[in-house]
Every structure is written in C-alpha cells, then in structure tokens.
Amino acid sequence: MLSFPFQDDYRAWDLQKSHLYKPEQAYHPPTVRFGNPTTFQDDYVPRAAQPRQSFKPGAAAPLSTAPFHGDTSHRRDFVPYELEPKPARPKRPYKPSSQPFQGLTTHRCAFRGLLGSAAKACRVPRQAPRAAPIRPASQRRKKFPFQGRSTTQEDFPEWEACRPREPMRPQQQMPGPSGTFDGVSTFQSHYVPHELVPTASCKPAQAAVRSSSPFDDVTWYSTEFAPKKREVCPASYPSPPGYIFETTNSRGHKFFRKIAPASSSG
C-alpha cells in the first residue's frame, strides 16, 4: 500500500467533544389569554356613531308667483343727461426763436478752468553706460575647396539596376466557351407569357346629373350685399374738406385739424 509523506508525518488526535455551557431553556408559553388590559382599552369606551344633521337646503328651489318685469335698480334710478359739446381750443402755432443758436451748453458757459503749473517728469536723469556685447569676436575661417561629395554619396554607392521580370499572372482554370453565343438568356428561354385579364373599373360614369329646373343665377351674396359708398382719402386733396390747416413741421409734413360738427340747438 502506498503512503504519502503527509500521512507519515500527520497523526490524528483523539479529541473529545466539548460540552455546551448554555443553560437549558425551561420557558413554556402560557396557555391562557393575557389578562392585563392597556390604558387605551381601559379609557376608551366605544360609542355608536350618530349621523350629523344636514344644513343643506332642499333641491327644489322656491318659485315666485309674481311675473318677471326685467327691471333693475339701474334702469329705475338712472337719469340720462345730454352732454354738451366740448369747446375746441385752438392750438398755439409754433414760433421759432429769434435768437441765433450759439451751440454752447451750461457747462461751457459756467465752467472756468483753474490755472496750474505744468506737470514735471518723474524720470531719473542718470546716464547709464552702454552695455558691451557678450558675443565672441568674429574669427576668420579657413577656405577649403568644395569637393561636391557628401557622407551619403560615400556610404551609399549607386547599385546597378536590372530590368524587373514579367508580372506573374494566374492561369485561367475555367475553359472558355467553345460554341457561338446565340443571344438568348435563361429568362427568355424559360419564361412563358400569360394573357392579362383587365380589371373591372369601379369609376362612375362621366355623365353629370342634370336638373330639370331652370338655373336662376341667384346667390346669398347678390341678394344680401349692400354696396357702400367709396370714401376718398383726405390726403389726396390739396385742402381736405372738413379739416383746417394748422402748421408744417421741419420735415415738410402738413398737419390738419378736424372741424367739430356744429351742435343743433332745439
């Protein structure tokens, strides 16, 4: 029988089962009903609900036996008065000022400037020395003849170019047609034409229904239309009737005032 190192080194101990120190539960629920009432049960006395008395009036409204005259306090107490026509007060014509406009404001007329000394410059008149340049003095370079060759030309010489080979083309695996093309497709060879059956038209006939009664050519517009007199715009007249010229503003617009109709005295 094979044995593993774990089985050789490990030995099971003979452990005894520990006893529980929890006390045994000796409580048994009571079999009788709990007899201690609560404060709510002692103080609360159930009473029968009594319906409240309704103060809502009945659905049937009381009807008056007196006839309705349609009179109101306004109709009985109101006394109409005739208003007198308001007198037309003439508008004062505009009178331009006789004094020429000087173009001066109150600030220009009342303000007087105070004489003061000229402002002095706050700069320091110290003459600072000019800074000497820090760049090194120019040195004359030696002149060498230009050879016209670079590092790339020396390290990468030109290679002899050879003509590329012909491109590799795949060989055609499907054989081409041996016979001549007759110009007939599969649809043309297998298609069987069928005769079309025309659908019955449900459109009504074009003949209109004619009435036997004569046409009176009368409409609501022709019977109820009342033509009104066309009024001419007052601006088309040089002096509009019923208006009085008042003045002309600076833009050349003329202003007219409508004449109040004379009140008829009885």
Per-residue pLDDT of the chain (266 residues; tens, 9 = 90+): 566 666 777 777 787 888 877 777 788 887 877 777 888 888 888 888 888 888 887 777 777 888 888 888 888 888 888 888 888 888 889 888 888 877 788 888 888 777 888 888 777 677 777 877 777 766 666 666 777 778 888 888 887 777 767 777 877 777 777 777 778 888 888 888 888 888 888 887 777 777 788 877 788 888 888 888 887 777 777 788 888 888 888 888 888 888 877 665 54
How far is the C-alpha of 243 from the C-alpha of 258, rounded, in Å? 4
Buried b / exposed e over 117-148, threshold 16 CB at 10 Å, is eeeeeeeeeeeeeeeeeeeeeeeeeeeeeeee
Q: Residues in the chain, how many?
A: 266
